[in-house]
Amino acid sequence: MSMTITYEFEGALYVNLTNRCSNDCIFCLRNNHDSVNGEDNLWLDREPQQHEILADFKKRNLSKYTWVVFCGYGEPLMRCHVCIETARWLKENYPHLKIRINTNGQANLIEKRDVTPEFEGIIDAISISLNAASAKRYDELCHSCFGLSAYDGLLDFAEKAKRYVPSVTLSVVNHDITAEEIEQCRTIVENRGLNFRVREYIE
């Protein structure tokens, strides 16, 4: 049975909560690879329950990590409650840890409410994939189940999250995007007082 719940990547401990996602991006690693950094298969036969996630952490030497990153093959905030409760448990039991969520920024659309106040004091950083400089282009690339409203939804999520999370970064991958679009993205993000980052494409 395949059940890689946590895995090391670039010195951090990553958490794989789900393979589900509200997007179906044309560049998604789920379509192209079956491993990250030679790690075990990250396809979950079923989603781990909370007690299985905590048991997995307890098997690890958590003192050697600074960052825990909710990421995985899929959107961690498809399981918003589990993600936040796991992060809360980590903070309570291992206060030295910093916690980041890598997300498509659609949690408020998924949950149909503003979830961002729940991040306060628990989540240290949120990294959101912006991918495009317009709702239309985002939809062409990401095929969100929320259609054209996904783009404004993720920007709104980012602005709300900034009230409760010390670092909120929106990023684009330097692939299938023009230099002009990157600069448009930078303007969109920085006008909202948020961080912008260009990430390199991983073949």
Interface ranges with ligand SF4 (CB under 6 A): 21, 23-25, 28, 30, 74-75, 104, 142
To the nearest whole angstrom, how small is the minimum distance from the Cβ of residue 103 to ligand SF4?
Answer: 8
Of 137, 184, 190, 192, give the one whose Cα is nearest residue 161. Answer: 192
Q: Which two tokens stand for residue 71?
A: 């990421």
Nearer to ligand SF4, 91 or 169 (CB): 169
Nearer to ligand SF4, 3 or 25 (CB): 25
* Cα–Cα distance measured from residue 192 to residue 29, given in angstroms and rounded to the nearest whole number: 29
CA-based torsion, 68, 197, 164, 79: positive or negative: negative
Q: Which two tokens stand for residue 109?
A: 């659309």
Nearer to ligand SF4, 75 or 124 (CB): 75
Nearer to ligand SF4, 27 or 89 (CB): 27
Nearer to ligand SF4, 34 or 120 (CB): 34
In the sheet where 98-103 sits, what is the strand order? 6-9, 12-15, 67-70, 98-103, 125-129, 167-173, 195-199
User: What distances in angstroms separate CA 143 from CA 24, 133, 187, 200, one per listed residue?
Assistant: 5, 15, 24, 22
Which residues, in sequence order, are CB contacts of 160 under 8 Å at separation 6+? 108, 114, 116
Nearer to ligand SF4, 6 or 106 (CB): 106
To the nearest whole angstrom, how small is the minimum distance from the Cβ of residue 23 to ligand SF4?
Answer: 4
To the nearest whole angstrom, how small is the minimum distance from the Cβ of residue 138 to ligand SF4?
Answer: 11
To the nearest whole angstrom, how small is the minimum distance from the Cβ of residue 72 to ligand SF4?
Answer: 8
To the nearest whole angstrom, how small is the minimum distance from the Cβ of residue 78 to ligand SF4?
Answer: 9
To the nearest whole angstrom, how small is the minimum distance from the Cβ of residue 191 to ligand SF4?
Answer: 23
Type of residue at 61? N
Say if residues 60 and 53 touch (Cβ distance below 8 Å).
no
